[in-house]
């Protein structure tokens, strides 16, 4: 069985937001149309407490897009974004959320970022998504949303590691592109056996 996972379609990742992904809002209507082709639709929501460790503002002398080393590896520092219960963390106002059967909130722990919908960035702490999908027999996952080179990519790679069949809908994602991260993301996903399709093919 297949499911559509709509990643982080939130105000802060759209133009005008705190961590705007270029063209992030252009894919909203295409994603809405996609939901009509799926019986099962899930959402992810970046959902940080104020002062989250992934925010540059939490580190003296750092600015957005600097990196730091944490015990779980290199962490990119972001502008404050998707702070719990703020307008920036809400889904895009035009996104159809009525079909969503499950919403994964991630990045909720102060000291650990979470790009992937499956595991926090420590690569150990599970969000519960895998169990949810398995128990319902969803074996093929279609991914759309933001950002192609961070949350979409890490979700796709973790899904492959766990044995899911994964299809990224290439015209229903947009990337941030920090220092070549977008090209690298497509390469890494390809190498991991992630399939790519257009919205029309779905």
Q: Which residues bind ligand VGL (CB under 6 A)?
A: 8, 13, 46, 78, 115, 146-147, 150-151
Helices 153-161 + 181-191 axis angle, to 10 = 20
Burial class (CB in 10 A: 0-12, 13-18, 19+), 150: buried
DSSP state, residue 57: G
Catalytic residue positions? 8, 106, 151
Least Å distance, CB 49 to Zn ion, is: 11
Q: Which is nearer to ligand VGL, 64 or 192 (CB)?
A: 64
Residues in contact with Zn ion, counted by CB under 5 A, come to a total of 2
Shortest distance, position 1 Cβ to Zn ion, whole Å: 30
Q: Is 46 in the site for Zn ion (CB under 5 A)?
A: yes
Q: How far is CA 42 from the centre of its chain?
A: 12
Pairing, β 165-174 against β 195-197: parallel
Identify which of residues 91 and 115 has a Cβ nearer to ligand VGL in the complex.
115
User: At closest approach, how far in Å is the CB of 78 from Zn ion?
Assistant: 6
CA dist 55 and 195 (Å) reads 32
Footprint (CB under 5 A) of Zn ion, residues 101-130: 107
Binding site for Zn ion (CB under 5 A): 46, 107
């Amino acid at each position: 069985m297949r499911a559509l996972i709509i990643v982080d379609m939130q105000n802060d990742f759209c133009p005008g937001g705190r961590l705007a992904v270029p063209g992030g809002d252009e894919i909203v209507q295409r994603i809405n149309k996609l939901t009509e082709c799926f019986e099962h639709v899930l959402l992810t929501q970046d959902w940080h407490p104020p002062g989250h460790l992934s925010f540059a503002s939490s580190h003296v002398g750092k600015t957005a897009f600097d990196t730091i080393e944490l015990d779980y590896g290199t962490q990119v520092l972001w502008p404050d974004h998707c702070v719990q219960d703020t307008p920036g963390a809400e889904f895009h106002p035009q996104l159809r959320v009525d079909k969503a059967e499950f919403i994964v909130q991630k990045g909720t722990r102060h000291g650990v970022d979470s790009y992937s919908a499956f595991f926090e960035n420590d690569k150990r702490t599970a969000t519960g998504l895998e169990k949810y999908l398995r128990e319902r027999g969803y074996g093929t996952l279609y991914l759309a949303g933001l950002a192609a080179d961070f949350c979409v990519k890490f979700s796709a790679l973790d899904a492959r590691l766990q044995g899911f069949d994964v299809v990224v809908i290439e015209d229903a994602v947009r990337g941030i592109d920090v220092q070549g991260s977008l090209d690298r993301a497509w390469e890494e996903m390809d190498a991991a056996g992630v399939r790519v399709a257009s919205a029309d093919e779905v």
